[in-house]
């Protein structure tokens, strides 16, 4: 089976130090968490940034600082900034990290509008998705297609047919966000069966669903995402001390299923980056 790409979503936009004091806000903390994940086996860092007080931001300068800090500690890691940002941000705000110089190798592309945990709405209209894809295509940025429900996969397939989303496609299936598809083996299998065979996919499960969902993906030949953005616990009632601890647990699961871990160079090859 193909080597396993591990993505660490180290920070997110919603989780706070009240949830786990190790959630990074400052540039130094972001660097520390990226390094712990990379050292444990992550080849991709999915990156949100915060102001020092924890406020989520998409400021380009803040991303630049975070990129510099991470690359100093983990020179060959793939950094995948979020273009989802936080609920309520404008499209212009959200897109800022793709205009870094040099542009990032990857970025997320969120593939539909949804209720997002309670009263929030995460807005990604069809025109927004097309616009974000166009902007990323201009700089050759590899998009990770964020699908929080199966209708978002259908949207991707439609836009791909129209030539607006390019191959080879790489999906991230997010299961367990309230308002999105729930985290069950049946739902994950359905998502996996819904994408073309030449696609790649990674999987993340929210909260207690993190490791059960990731385990299925590892077993089926998919890839894995863990990190504080999705879950702050190492096991029931035990807070993770770092993103690295969560990545280490994925490496152990991969070992059980006989999957070797991809280096960043190998991840680039698998994802057709560069
Ligand atoms: N923070 C969520 C509203 C992404 O990174 O592209 C969106 C999100 C997805 O986290
Ligand atoms: Zn994110």
What does the pLDDT read at residue 118? 85
Q: Block means of pLDDT (10 residues each) for the chain, length 274 residues?
A: 97 98 98 98 99 98 98 98 98 98 98 96 98 98 98 98 97 98 98 97 98 98 98 98 98 98 98 94
| Residue to mutate, 47, 82, 121, ligand 1, most ligand atoms under 8 Å from C-beta | 82
> Which tokens go with 41?
């086996």
What does the pLDDT read at residue 274? 85
Helix pair 60-73, 27-40: axis angle to 10 deg: 40
CB-ligand 1 contact for 7 (6 Å cutoff)? no
CA of 120 to the centre of ligand 1 (A): 13
CB contact set of 257 (below 8 Å; sequence gap of 6+): 215, 218, 219
Please check whether residue 44 is in contact with residue 78, taking contact to mean a CB–CB distance below 8 angstroms. yes
| Residue to mutate, 12, 84, 111, ligand 1, most ligand atoms under 8 Å from C-beta | 84
What is the rounded (10 degree) CA torsion for 10, 84, 107, 271? Answer: 80
Please check whether residue 213 is in contact with residue 175, taking contact to mean a CB–CB distance below 8 angstroms. yes
Q: What domains does the chain contain, in order, with CATH numbers?
A: 6-271 (3.20.20.70)
Atom number in ligand 1 closest to CA 146: 6
pTM above 0.95, yes or no: yes
Residue matched to tokens 């894809």: 133
d(CA 37, CA 45): 8
Residue nearest atom 4 of ligand 1, based on CA coordinates: 84
CB-ligand 1 contact for 128 (6 Å cutoff)? no
CA of 246 to the centre of ligand 1 (A): 20
């Amino acid at each position: 089976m193909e080597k396993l790409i591990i993505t660490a979503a180290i920070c997110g936009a919603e989780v706070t130090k009240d949830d786990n004091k190790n959630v990074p806000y400052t540039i130094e903390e972001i660097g520390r968490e990226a390094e712990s994940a990379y050292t444990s086996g992550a080849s991709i860092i999915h990156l949100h940034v915060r102001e020092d007080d924890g406020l989520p931001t998409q400021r380009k300068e803040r991303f630049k600082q975070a990129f510099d800090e991470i690359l100093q500690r983990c020179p060959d890691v793939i950094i995948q900034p979020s273009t989802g940002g936080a609920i309520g941000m404008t499209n212009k705000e959200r897109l800022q990290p793709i205009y870094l110089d040099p542009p990032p190798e990857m970025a997320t592309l969120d593939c539909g509008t949804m209720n997002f945990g309670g009263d929030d709405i995460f807005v990604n209209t069809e025109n927004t998705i097309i616009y974000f894809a166009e902007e990323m295509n201009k700089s050759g940025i590899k998009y990770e297609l964020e699908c929080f429900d199966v209708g978002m996969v259908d949207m991707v397939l439609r836009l791909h047919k129209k030539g607006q989303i390019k191959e080879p496609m790489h999906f991230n299936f997010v299961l367990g966000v309230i308002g999105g598809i729930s985290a069950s083996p049946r739902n994950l299998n359905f998502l996996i069966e819904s994408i073309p065979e030449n696609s790649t996919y990674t999987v993340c499960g929210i909260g207690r669903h993190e490791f059960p969902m990731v385990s299925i993906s590892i077993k089926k030949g998919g890839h894995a995402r863990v990190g504080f953005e999705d879950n702050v616990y190492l096991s029931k009632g035990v807070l993770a001390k770092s993103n690295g601890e969560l990545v280490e647990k994925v490496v152990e699961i991969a070992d059980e299923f006989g999957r070797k871990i991809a280096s960043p160079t190998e991840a680039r090859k698998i994802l057709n980056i560069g």
